[in-house]
Structure 1
Amino acid sequence: MSQVSIGQYILNRLKEINIDTIFGVPGDFNMPLLDLIEDDVALTWGNNANELNSAYAADGYARVRGAGAVVTAFGVGELSAINGIAGSYSEMLPVIHIVGTPRTTTQEKGSLMHHSLGNGDFRVFEKMSAMVTVASASLTLANAISEIDRVIQTAVINKRPGYISLPFNLINTMVELPSVLPLIVSPPKSPEQVKNIAIKEILRVIQESQNPVIIVDGCILRHRLTAEANEFVEIAGLPTFSAPMGKGAIDESLPNYRGVYAGAISFEEVSEEIKNADLLIEIGSIKSDFNTGNFTYGLEKIKTISLNSSNTIIFHAEYSGVRMQDVLPLLTAALSENKISLDYKPRVRSAPIDNETVEITHNYLWNKVPEYIAENGIIVSETGTSEFGIFNMESPKGATFIGQILWGSIGYSVGAAVGAAMADRSRKVYLFVGDGSFQLTAQEISVFIRQGLTPVIFLLNNDGYLMEKLIHGPERSYNNFQMWKYSQTLDYFGGNLEVNKTEGKNPSPIGIEAKVSTRQEFENAMEKVSEEPDKIHFLEVIMPAFDSPRELLLLCDLSENR
């Protein structure tokens, strides 16, 4: 029978679910756990600037790696992180939040401790977190092992955050381990008989339809089913669209890929193709407002098959427990015998670059920037203009798109890009963030540099909160803020300080720091960026104050009318 400390057991289980970086901020109740992290050669400590950013980083990491983890201190630390955890819940990411809490004896006495509310209730923050997690636990010596496993398994299976309260005195407490079985992190299999009935019915409906189409959405990404979805789409040969939250799930070079569908903010040609369908096959659908063009899908009259992670719905009949994870490969195998071959019109594209100005407009930027994005790049976009700009941007081969279309917390992208870059250092990260959002979470640039990460950062400077201006108050002062010297960001955060380059440290080599106002300046800067792929680059991109992607303008118009 072996022994292990409770803290080390948590770390072992995190490594088992493919986590090699743990984000967070030191606090007096969690530092013995940080000792274990720092001493574990298989783990890296994220060392974030604040707890909110650490939660964003764990979220971005989970989108690339499958799961993430964050460590905070009791009370003040965990409440700073809870917005990021709530975002992971909303957008379905398994982030394990580990909170270092006061000693068990202190809690039992109800002592008046710092970081507490001063009322002797040491469970109050766990109760708050229970509303934005799928499983939570307050560890004791008796329940620690079983509760750690329960929280992690439940979080990973359900694609939602989990919460673990770890008292200071239990971190290094040794426990007996009679046997350690692998974590169960796969959902139950679909009921065989019901699944077979559902598949038979789906194949019948497809065969009888005249003009079926497929829409692939974000749950495919959350459940890491992109390979299965792409094989199904390719073999089925049916016209296929992605929802905004599903962008990147389907290879856009496939001949039957037709573009992004987001209700009334879609291209007219895309809306027309959907309108003419007599059968809609939804895969992993998330029908939120921004994802559906403010609920303007208009698909109510179309017969629908909906494949989800917990059930399958064919028209109005629900097949409970029949999961898309099990259904997709079987449908693909059945359809491969009669692969459909169709001729398609050329896919509609964004309007070509308007050459009437030398300014860097959204029309120019989203047409031009794909030329500079490396294969398999990770594209992180902020809530606002960049999030909508990428909807119909040409997708570079193998690209992953990260954005917070449902939760929409401004500033999210900076921390998320740190997490994404840590999750896979072999892939180039491209961060698009607005000037307003950047001012919320700019500190994380310091973490990029400290961790030796080499993203390309595009700061879109349109002098204010443009999305808010388009919704309400275009001339109001509350939609403006102090101008910064953004193009000096890498220098300010210590990128050129010799003290940060001492022995044992490996900070990012600094590349381009530039402020670009014209298209030629942008292209000159990007040529230099392309020549130095192993450096961190920061471009402040000056854009017209009220210029916007067409998709955002249309959405704001819909918001006004509803």
Structure 2
Amino acid sequence: MRITIGEFLISRLKQIGVTEIIGVPGDFNLNFLEQVNEAEGIRFIGTCNELNAAYAADGYARSRGVAALLTTYGVGELSALNGIAGAAAEHVPLVSLAGAPPLYATEDRYDLHHTMADGNFRNMLDSIGQFTATAVRLTPMNAVVEIDRALHTCLREKRPVHLQLPSDISHLCVEAPDTDFDLTLPGSDPERLESAASRVLELFDAAQRPVILADLDADRHGFVPALQAFAEKTGTPYAHLNSGKGVLDEHHPLFLGTYNGAGSAPAVKAAIEQADFLITTTPRFIEANSGGFTHALPETTLDFGDQHVSIGKEHFIGITVLELLDLLLERVPAGNSQVAAAPAASISEPWEVQAGAELTQERLWPRLARFLREDDVVIAEAGTSSIGLGPHPLPTGTRYINSGIWGSIGFTLPATLGSQLAEPGRRHILFIGDGSFQMTAQELSTILRQNLKPIIVLLNNRGYTIERLILGMDAEYNDIQNWSFSQLPRIFHPDTSMRSHQARTEGELEEALADIEESEDGAFLELHLDPKDAPAGLKTFGPMTADFDFGPRGPRNP
């Protein structure tokens, strides 16, 4: 069929599940935006800046499975690059689109705005290409092939891809296939699939202490339903890294807890490190999820990658792992593990409110964990929020969004915007610190403009608590300007229905939570905490990080 390049791109985005394109308009992408406006079943969501747009697209992709980001050449692309890099680090499939200068100007090396004015039009692709699975400039000759190649790469590799769309080609017609985009993964090599299944079942049958250790790739590649079913059918206990929190059901009796190397609970550490068959999902150990690189996995470890299986030094390639998991689930006999799992986690124990007591980190997080419901989307900012919430089990069916690897603060407010655009029917609860909030605060206005209704819990502790615990407890560089945070919803949107609350004591917190439970209007809850107070995990993490960063001659050990 004959179709314009812009219309073909839009049709492909719709076919992979994108109904919102998130970004910022600019002169080189306005013609494409006109085509988006004319299309049915897809719309543009404008954000306050490109970095926030990239964060929002990341959150959208985590809930929808893929997202589309739109920026303009140079200034827009580079402004979004931190968010694109974060999606790459966190293995999030994101289609980044950038309106680019006209093709004739690119080919004739014009000196243009948004460039270095030196005729170089490769530098943006080269920069962004370092953080994407592919980065390409579209032309009328390559557009159909490259669009499909980029989308297949994005969905298969679970990485961002980047397409530059020159401003003078979006309305040009090309020949394109009239079939829908094929979302299926290539099938496995039959012999390799059968050999892998036989070997896995052989080792699993011989194991006395099998355990599953999940990380975020289990979610990204769609392994979770099969892994959960495998654990339940065989009675195999499981744990996760903190970068994989919420991947498997934390309220199931088979759940052991969080593995964090030497920082693990003794029972979890023993179960993982003494397992005679450990099943993993390509864990990536950084200092923050390995107890400072003290992890020690057993020799007999099976790793499910996206397109391969490794068992020690045995490697099975040419496999679509989803097919293998289905085959294993079908063939593995039911049984009961001999590894003692932890008692089913509970947050329903009686809670006695100390009405006049000031809020403390120690008592705050158990109470907030009790506020969560099944099927919530919980977003926790890197630092105090993720560390404070980390030890507490999430209700069954919770989607947990966190930047455990990249850790760019400010990510979670725009990510909440994107996730709620992708799944508007689910309750979204964001936990964010005041310092992180100030990084991307503008996107609260977009949340309100889109009539979204998240519950935003802001921890006002007058600065960067995580940094204080690393170095500079009383240093001015860890302070921030104190805003009237709870007034911001009405400042950004005077007619908003979002309710604002403040709490300094446990009694005030209870009143606020009760009001939030009864309302469907969304809420902004500002909690006032001592700047020097911190969750127990952060009190350990801070000194450990200081020792790692600064060494024995550092400022903590002059």
TM-score interval (norm. to shorter)? over 0.9
Post-superposition offset of 1:344: 4.5
* 8 Å contact from structure 1 (residues 235, 340) kept in 2: no
Equivalent pair of 2:459/2:526 in contact (CA under 8 Å):
yes
Please state if 1:58 is matched with 2:57.
Answer: yes
State percent identity of aligned pairs: 34
For 1:363, the equivalent position in structure 2 comes to 362
* CA shift in 2, pair 1:183/1:286, >3 Å: farther
Do the aligned partners of residues 318 and 342 (structure 1) sit closer, same or farther apart at CA in structure 2, a change above 3 Å counting?
Answer: closer
What per-residue deviation string (whole Å, max 9, x for no partner) do you get for residues 239-270 of structure 1? 11122222222122322122222223333332
Q: Structure 1 residue 352: deviation in Å?
A: 9.4
How does 1:269-418 map onto structure 2 within 5 Å?
A: 269-299=267-297, 301-338=298-335, 344=341, 346-347=343-344, 358-418=357-417
**Which segment drifts farther, 109-118 or 89-98?**
109-118
CA distance 1:464–1:218, shift in 2 (3 Å): same
Q: Does 1:147 align with 2:146?
A: yes
Residue 498 of structure 2 aligns to a residue whose secondary structure is strand
Deviation, structure 1 residue 437: 0.7
Q: Deviations over 1:3-52 (max 9, x none)?
A: 22111111110111101010000101111111222232311211101000
Task: With the length of structure 1 as denominator, give the TM-score of the two structures.
Answer: 0.92
Deviations 1:261-298 (A, max 9, x none): 22233333322433443332213423233232332222
CA offsets 1:535-554 (integer angstroms, 9 cap, x no match): 12101111221222222222
Aligned CA distance change for structure 1 residues 544 and 122 (closer, same or farther; 3 Å): same
Q: 1:420-464 CA distances to partner (integer Å, 9 max, x unpaired)?
A: 000010001111111111111000001100111000001111111
CA separation of 1:557 and 1:207: change in aligned 2, threshold 3 A: farther
Using structure 2 for the length normalisation, give the TM-score: 0.93
2:528 is matched with: 542
Q: Relative to structure 1, is the Cα distance of residues 557 and 366 closer, same or farther in structure 2, using a 3 angstrom cutoff?
A: same
Does residue 527 in structure 1 map to residue 514 in structure 2? yes
- How far apart are 1:530 and its partner, in Å? 0.9
- The Cα shift of 1:152 comes to 1.3
| Structure 1 residues 463 and 353: alpha-carbon distance in aligned structure 2, compared to 1, 3 A threshold | farther
Structure 1 counterpart of 2:255, one-letter code: Y
SS for the counterpart of 1:120 is coil
User: 2: CA distance between counterparts of 1:511 and 1:416?
Assistant: 19
SS at match of 1:438: helix
- Any conservation in 1 of the 2:362–2:535 contact (CA below 8 Å)? yes
Match of 1:268 in 2: 266
2:537 is the alignment partner of 1:551:
yes
Q: 1:141 to 1:348 in 2, by over 3 A?
A: closer
Render the CA deviation track for 1:318-360: whole Å, top value 9, x for unaligned. Answer: 2233343222222222224556587645256799979788222
Amino acid at match of 1:514: H
Instruction: Give distance in 1, aligned partners of 2:393 and 2:361.
Output: 14
- The CA distance in 2 between the partners of 1:29 and 1:140, in whole Å, is 15
Q: Deviations over 1:368-412 (max 9, x none)?
A: 123333331111111111111222222123110001010111100
Structure-1 residue corresponding to 2:552: none
- 2:442, 2:373 → 1: CA distance? 26
1:433 aligns with 2:432: yes
Instruction: Evaluate the alpha carbon distance shift between residue 191 and residue 355 of structure 1 in structure 2; reply closer, same or farther with a 3 A threshold.
Output: same
Could you tell me which residue of structure 2 aligns to residue 453 of structure 1?
A: 452
Letter in 1 for 2:69: V
The number of residues matched between the two structures is: 546
Deviation track 1:465-487 (CA, whole Å, cap 9, x = no partner) reads 11111112222211111111111
- Residue 353 of structure 1 contacts residue 364 of structure 1 at CA under 8 Å; is this kept in 2? no
Q: Is the 8 A contact 1:385 1:552 kept in 2?
A: yes
Deviation of the 1:95 alpha carbon? 0.8
Moved more, 74-83 or 118-127: 118-127
Cα distance in 2 for residues equivalent to 1:464 and 1:352? 33
5+ residue gaps in structure 2?
549-558
Residue pair 1:312, 1:321 contacting (<8 A) in 2 also: no
RMSD of aligned residue pairs (Cα, Å): 2.1
Q: Is the 8 A contact 2:486 2:525 kept in 1?
A: yes
Does the Cα contact within 8 Å between 2:186 and 2:320 map onto a contact in 1?
Answer: no
Preserved contact between residue 255 and residue 342 of structure 2 (Cα < 8 Å): no
Rate the CA distance shift 1:282–1:101 in 2: closer, same or farther, 3 A: same
Pick one of 489, 499, 522 that aligns with 1:512.
499
1:280 counterpart letter in structure 2: L
Alignment partner of 1:227 out of 225, 228, 242: 225
1:393 and 1:459 mapped to 2: Cα distance? 18
Mean alpha-carbon deviation: is it higher for 90-99 or for 236-245? 236-245
C-alpha separation between the residues in 2 aligned to 1:480 and 1:90? 29
Is the Cα–Cα contact under 8 Å of residues 449 and 495 in structure 1 kept in the other structure? no
Instruction: Return the offset for 1:56.
Output: 0.4
Task: Tell me the SS of whatever aligns to 1:169.
Answer: coil
CA change 1:344–1:262 in 2 (3 A) is closer
Cα shift readout 1:164-207 (whole Å, capped 9, x = no counterpart): 11111111122233x33333444433322222222222222222
What is the SS of the residue equivalent to 2:46?
coil
Q: Which residue of 2 aligns with 1:250?
A: 248
